[in-house]
Amino acid sequence: MNTSRNLKKIYLDRVNAMPSVSDQSMDRHIRIMRTRLWEEFDDVWLRYEKGKASFELWEKSLDRWLKAELL
């Protein structure tokens, strides 16, 4: 990875900072939303690695996914 930002460290720090949630909503729509945002984040990360997405987009996508995980 030739970027000045260490994405893996940022990602792991953010995930580790999240409170553990054992009673996540099992509502079907929320589960679908979490999965969609997770897949979107993966796609943005790959695009960022290829230079086709900005760091701001990567960070926004990570934030959206992690917030959905807390629902």
Structure tokens at 52: 């086709």
Short-list 1, 21, 5, CA closest to 13 = 5
Residue 36 has pLDDT above 80, yes or no: yes
What is the mean predicted confidence (pLDDT) over 32-59?
A: 94
pLDDT of residue 2: 46
In a domain, residue 52? The reply is: yes
Instruction: Tell me, yes or no, whether 48 lies in a domain.
Output: yes
Residue 23 has pLDDT above 70, yes or no: no
Instruction: Kindly state the percentage of the chain with pLDDT values over 70.
Output: 86
Average pLDDT over residues 10-26: 76
CA distance 46 to 34: 19
State the pLDDT at residue 22: 56
The terminus-to-terminus CA distance of the chain in angstroms comes to 32
Structural domain includes residue 47? yes
In a domain, 14, yes or no: no
Specify the pLDDT at position 1.
Answer: 46
Residues spanned by the domain of 67: 27-71
Q: How many domains is the chain partitioned into structurally? A: 1
Question: Is 6 among the domain residues?
Answer: no
Within a domain: 12: no
